[in-house]
């Protein structure tokens, strides 16, 4: 049986004991703020980014993990006889996956997996990988199975205010002002074929009511949802709204585990603090 190490880009949005249970090693993406580079979740937090945005109106740039970084960290493990399963942020969102593939072609024994997702959607794939490793599956089989599972992860979010999308060039000032004036809260859906994001249903009204409708719409869309776990992941929206979403999920009495997570710097910098979503898998 081969020795396998699990690793992941830092954008998986799984933390604490749950992350520890996977044994995954994390590769932080880079946050460029005021011409200084930080490592996501290591020496910068989402709240640091928000404070800077409030004072300057500027967002940081995010940077992928480059090929040489992957090689530098993977090489000692490969030389020790390990095989590596690495879960990447969706390839439509970052060049990290392509860079990891390039590193794997140099080293061998590294199996990059495009999660085709972000945040705790990527986290679902990491958790699945950890279970397969515990079962003693071989690395090539695990990587192949994870690629089959990626399209079964469903991730979406509701955004309260569009300020961060405007600052990042993802919507116009006019659209932002119109949405805020009309109390429009767009849902953002992740395309689980590559990780790209599209605008889903546009909700209107106070956020409390919008979140109830959003949760029910998402869970009613599929009739084969897995009951083992669901993530409620947010970018710092506040306990009141987290409780609304969690309560609405709990009302169904369906999920055995409901995990609440805070989004990483990379995710948070693109959507802003007023963002929350649910992320689950289907059979």
Looking at residue 226, which CATH number applies to its domain? 3.30.1180.10
What is the separation of C-alpha 31 from the centre of its chain, rounded to a whole number of angstroms? 16
Based on the fold, state whether residues 232 and 123 are members of the same structural domain: no
Assess contact for 249 and 233: CB atoms under 8 A: no
pLDDT at 129 exceeding the cut of 60? yes
Based on the fold, state whether residues 186 and 84 are members of the same structural domain: no
Mean pLDDT of 13-39: 96
Based on the fold, state whether residues 158 and 125 are members of the same structural domain: no
Contacts of 138-145 with CB under 8 Å at 24 or more apart are: 138/1, 138/2, 139/2, 139/4, 139/83, 139/84, 139/85, 139/109, 139/111, 140/111, 142/4, 142/85, 142/111, 143/85, 143/111, 143/112, 143/113
- pLDDT tens-digit map of 167-180: 444 443 434 434 45
Answer with the one of 150, 170, 192 that is the final residue of a domain.
Answer: 150
Q: What are phi and psi of 178, to 5 degrees?
A: -65, -45
Q: Residue 169 burial (CB < 10 Å; 0-12/13-18/19+)?
A: exposed
Mean pLDDT of 11-32: 97
Which of 253-267 are b and which e, b meaning 16 or more Cβ less than 10 Å from the residue's Cβ? eebeebbbbbbbbbb
Answer with the one of 90, 121, 150 that is the final residue of a domain.
Answer: 150
Count the helix, strand and coil residues of the chain and give each as a percent rounded to the nearest 5: 45, 30, 30
- 3-state DSSP assignment of residue 36: strand
Based on the fold, state whether residues 30 and 88 are members of the same structural domain: yes
Assess contact for 30 and 38: CB atoms under 8 A: yes
Please state, rounded to an integer, the average pLDDT across all residues of the chain. Answer: 91
Based on the fold, state whether residues 99 and 57 are members of the same structural domain: yes
Based on the fold, state whether residues 223 and 85 are members of the same structural domain: no
Based on the fold, state whether residues 114 and 87 are members of the same structural domain: yes
Nearest CA among 194, 217, 197, 178 for reference residue 270: 197
Nearest CA among 92, 88, 123, 96 for reference residue 230: 123
Answer with the one of 150, 172, 198 that is the final residue of a domain.
Answer: 150
Based on the fold, state whether residues 237 and 193 are members of the same structural domain: yes
Assess contact for 148 and 141: CB atoms under 8 A: no
Q: Residue 111 burial (CB < 10 Å; 0-12/13-18/19+)?
A: buried
In terms of average pLDDT, the best of 162-171, 189-198, 238-247, 269-278 is 238-247
pTM of the model: 0.93
Written as six digits, the tokens of 254 are 């369906």
Q: Give the structural domain span for 26.
A: 3-150
In terms of average pLDDT, the best of 40-44, 53-57, 175-179, 197-201 is 40-44
Based on the fold, state whether residues 48 and 146 are members of the same structural domain: yes
- 3-state DSSP assignment of residue 279: strand
pLDDT band (50, 70, 90) for residue 127: very high
Based on the fold, state whether residues 188 and 247 are members of the same structural domain: yes
Based on the fold, state whether residues 252 and 211 are members of the same structural domain: yes
How does DSSP assign 45-79, residue by residue? -HHHHHHHHHHHS-PPEEEPPPHHHHHHHHHHHHH
* Count of domains forming the chain: 2
Based on the fold, state whether residues 138 and 223 are members of the same structural domain: no
CATH number of 106's domain: 3.40.50.10170
Alpha-helical segments (H) within 29-182: 46-56, 67-79, 96-107, 119-134, 139-149, 163-167, 173-181
Pairing of strands 82-88, 110-114: parallel
């Amino acid at each position: 049986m081969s020795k396998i190490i699990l690793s992941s880009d830092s954008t998986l949005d799984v933390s604490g004991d749950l992350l520890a249970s996977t044994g995954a090693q994390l590769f932080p993406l880079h946050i460029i703020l005021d011409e200084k580079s930080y490592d996501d979740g290591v020496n910068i937090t989402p709240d640091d980014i928000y404070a800077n945005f409030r004072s300057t109106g500027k967002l940081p740039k995010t940077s992928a993990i480059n090929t040489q970084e992957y090689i530098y960290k993977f090489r000692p493990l490969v030389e020790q006889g390990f095989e590596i399963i690495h879960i990447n942020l969706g390839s439509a969102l970052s060049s990290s996956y392509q860079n990891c593939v390039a590193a794997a072609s140099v080293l061998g024994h590294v199996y990059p997996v495009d999660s085709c997702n972000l945040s705790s959607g990527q986290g679902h794939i990491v958790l699945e990988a950890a279970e397969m490793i515990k079962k003693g599956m071989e690395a090539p089989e695990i990587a192949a199975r994870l690629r089959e599972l990626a399209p079964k992860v469903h991730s979406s979010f509701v955004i309260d205010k569009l300020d961060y999308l405007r600052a990042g060039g993802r919507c116009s000032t006019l659209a932002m002002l119109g949405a805020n004036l009309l109390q429009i809260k767009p849902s953002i859906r992740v395309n689980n074929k590559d990780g790209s994001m599209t605008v889903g249903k546009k909700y209107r009204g106070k956020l409390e009511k919008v979140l109830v409708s959003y949760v029910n719409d998402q869970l009613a869309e599929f009739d084969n949802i897995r009951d083992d776990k669901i993530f409620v992941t947010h970018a710092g929206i506040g306990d009141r709204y987290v409780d609304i979403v969690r309560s609405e999920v709990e009302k169904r009495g369906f999920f055995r585990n409901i995990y609440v997570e805070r989004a990483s710097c990379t995710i948070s910098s693109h959507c802003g603090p007023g963002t929350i979503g649910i992320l689950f898998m289907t059979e």
